């Protein structure tokens, strides 16, 4: 046969849409209002050409009709502007130059609770027990000849005041 084709099945159809969804779709909370999503391209045999883009669709679980779409060429994305302590549903699909492939399974994720901010006049107190070792100088010319003597423990507290 001409053109380098020997009659065996090829791993993908050149110029077709992906036959499979992206793999290993995961979510990791970044803050109470953002999440980092990661995935891998569809299996090689399901790509059907070069993956040129990914489409992400997500919504608040309470309102599945209000979808927010976004596109990327990367295999990870940080989604900002989410509401704290809210359940979201995420889905992703890959595109070739011919169009989109199937959607991934739905990935549920709940954002963290909002962090309480401390008042401006608040202070923080940090305490630690420190082991102090008094030094006894054996040779005044050489700092390396200083020797430790008996151990003494002391508590040190530092208070930081906010401006």
pLDDT of residue 49: 95
pLDDT of residue 21: 98
Spatial distance between the Cα atoms of 102 and 95, rounded to a whole number of angstroms: 9
Query: How many CB atoms within 10 Å of residue 13?
Result: 13
Phi then psi for 77, rounded to 5 degrees? -160, 135
Domain ranges, residue 156:
123-161
Query: Has this prediction a pTM greater than 0.85?
Result: no
Residue 9 lies in a domain: no
Domain count, the chain: 2
Q: Which long-range contacts (CB under 8 A, 24 or more apart) does 123-126 make?
A: 123/159, 123/160, 123/161, 123/162, 124/159, 124/160, 125/157, 125/158, 125/159, 125/160, 126/157, 126/158, 126/159, 126/160
Is pLDDT of 12 > 50?
Answer: no
pLDDT of residue 149: 47
- Tell me: do 68 and 96 sit in the same domain: yes
Residue 8 lies in a domain: no
Is pLDDT of 106 > 50?
Answer: yes
Q: What is the mean pLDDT of residues 20-49?
A: 97
Residue 115 lies in a domain: no
pLDDT of residue 15: 78
Q: What percent of the chain has pLDDT over 70?
A: 62
- For 43-94, how does the pLDDT look when each residue is reduced to its tens digit (9 = 90+)? 999 999 999 999 999 999 999 899 999 999 999 999 999 999 999 999 999 9
Is pLDDT of 138 > 90?
Answer: no
Is pLDDT of 162 > 50?
Answer: no
């Amino acid at each position: 046969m001409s053109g380098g084709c020997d009659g065996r099945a090829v791993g993908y159809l050149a110029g077709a849409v992906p036959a499979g969804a992206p793999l290993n779709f995961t979510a990791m909370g970044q803050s109470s209002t953002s999440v980092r999503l990661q995935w891998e391209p569809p299996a090689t045999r399901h790509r059907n050409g070069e993956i040129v883009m990914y489409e992400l669709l997500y919504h608040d679980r309470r309102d599945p009709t209000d979808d927010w779409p976004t596109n990327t060429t990367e295999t990870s994305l940080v989604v900002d502007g989410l509401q704290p302590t809210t359940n979201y549903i995420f889905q992703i699909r890959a595109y070739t130059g011919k169009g989109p492939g199937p959607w991934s399974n739905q990935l549920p994720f709940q954002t963290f609770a909002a962090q309480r901010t401390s008042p401006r006049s608040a202070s923080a107190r940090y305490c630690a027990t420190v082991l102090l070792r008094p030094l006894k100088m054996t040779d005044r010319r050489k700092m390396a000849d200083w020797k430790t003597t008996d151990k003494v423990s002391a508590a040190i507290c530092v208070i930081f005041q906010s401006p």
